[in-house]
Structure 1
Amino acid sequence: MTPSGARSSSIPRHYHRLARLERFTVTDAVHVKLKLQALDAALSNLNLDRNGQVDMKSAINACQSRPFHEAVYVDGSEEFYLLVKSLSRPDLIPNVYVNAYSSVLHGRPYLNEYKVSDFRKGVDPTFSEIRPLLAQIDALCETHLDSAFNELETRGKYLNRPSDLRLLTYSHLLPREAHLALIYQPHREHKTPRIRLDVLRTNKQIHDEVVEYFYEKRTLFLVAARDKASQTLSNNYLSRFYDMVAMMNPRTRQLFGKLEIQVSYLSGQTTTMKRYPSISFVADPMRDLFALLPKVQTLVIAFGPTPFIAGENWGIIREKLETVYWLIDCVPVSIDVRWDLSRAFTSRFKVDEGPLRRIVAKRGTVHMGESVSSKLASQRRSLLHERP
């Protein structure tokens, strides 16, 4: 157990219930040590100058179970056992090493795969769990596994490639749109592209590059709706957006420079239970949300559709206008405010545009069609027009 009393992630949840014969023992450590020594010998005979045409068969064979006559005591096995026993499935160290080595050898970043190859023994270890121990393993086993892997990475089949080429790879795995929507998309019909997040488990450098690629220069999109007569309900609704931003890594929040808020009406929104109980309640979620995004320089304010509901339209329009008054008061003075009024006024009935025009004239400038909503609507019209 860790000092805090929490269970180590490397220990299977059911370890205390494992049969004694299934647990890792000093005898098992002997087998693993022999495998690692055989693996080291196999790797030393590989010719790495054949541009990826390296036969890894000998290295893979070295990870197989050793012959019976080798199941004897090996000097230093107790020390090796004490070093690796905290890992889940130490018997898989050679196999995990070979998989990672083979991936890097063929120009692919190694992945930390979380899987269970034997439910009786717990979760398989990842290479990132094993790698910090390689130098100590080498000292006890008289091997050179750590330096062999470092040399292979230095040759750099992937990380030494041009950054533009790496970005092209990331764009294939994680196709990104110009906006990132929190909870609601600008249009109900809009479908986001599917992304593959396993690349984030490769290593720290690739993780940081992917995060920067995925979030930087994107417009963070959210919907604001508020009813002046029900402040508690309004804050509960807005808190969901605050909670999502608060859950982000602080370094990720630094990557957002543009925010778009679509003004809607509260009665048209759905309310749910608090999604992140670990985030403390805040009395003013919108102001606190801006505080979480210190790099935001531009705010685009757009408007959601106003449905034609007999007897209710005037109330919805008034609620939107009150939301705008409240919202603009929350925006820090350092932020450039841009208004997209494409959907601000409905043509189905006459609306007094004066109050909204006065707010716009007081703070910000009009940029028709700049919002994510307008751009997606324009793309949708173009696609419909192109259909035969």
Structure 2
Amino acid sequence: MARFGLGARKFSWTGPSCVEASAGHRQRQVICLNMCPRPTEKQCRHSSVFKLRCNAATHPQHNFNIDQFEEIGIEVTKKLRAFYWFCRPHTIIGTILGITSVSLLPMKSLDDLSVTVLLGFLEALASAVCMNIYVVGLNQLFDIEIDKVNKPTLPLASGEFSVTTGVSLVGAFLVMSISIGIRSKSAPLMCALLVSFLLGSAYSIDLPLLRWKRHPFLAASCILVVRAILVQLAFFTHMQQHVLKRPFAPTRSVVFATLFMCCFSAVIALFKDIPDVDGDRDFGIQSLSVRLGQQKVYRLCINMLMTAYTAAILVGASSPNLYQKITTVFGHGLLAFVLWHRARQFDIANKTCITPFYMFIWKLFYAEYLVIPFM
């Protein structure tokens, strides 16, 4: 038992004590408060102090490192941001708007809306988005060195994603797309997915007779077939025949959409190479912008779009329905004016303006799909 004094009072301690050697070879007893004996169950029941110590002994606390959680959160955010850019979101938005707009064309009234129709639409949309990610991801896998010059912020070019990660993502989304198509049992949908797969692969894969992006006509044809023909006709047929169970009967709107988007898709195919001239020239990609120059291709694109808008206004003016006539003429007239105004301010010599203008063309592409259902 250890005894020690404080003034006139003396205290005693019946617990264990520690012995320390002092500098003068004298020993002094130090109370080891942290070495209290483990309380028994009986003591826990009769002493509130021991109850607290009992809880501490039987329920150990885990101290989590907040810094580690923050680091994990930052890393996850970076990966999600990299995945977002890996998917090329402007193309995903175009796919979603295009399929949504075209899927409305076979419907004659609100009575056509049902759970079955919604599920059929979601099958088409999900499979198309997955195939879209496959196509743009595959292109990035084979364009890593080019993108280090043209688009150094893309995840594969910047090193945020490894090649293994890119291959895994591309393979996973291809499997998901085809699986959804097979499960749907829709012939038009499967046709659209398979053609997109074949053309997207031929466009990017660097093998003999492939890598069609090297040739302006073949590159434009790939984009035109997918964006203009498949999105319009295949998904329209999927909704009309497979989902609504009606015979194929193309409407005025879907015919117009197909023809108009042929022109618009060609413009996108041509304009997308204008910002990439430096990298394409260095790696032997003979795009039209490399062959003719950026200025000529730019003027060609603007003229094609203005011609398409003029034709759309004339088609709208010939519509027997007054509501459709007003919507089509006003909508395309407004889009044509916005394009003309923006083109006047554009300077092809200023490289910082080229990519924003290219994204502006995509916004016109989105806007067109908002007008098509009203035709």
| TM-score normalised to structure 2 length | 0.23
| TM-score normalised to structure 1 length | 0.22
Asked which structure has the greater CA Rg, the reply is: 2
Greater helix fraction, Structure 1 or Structure 2:
2
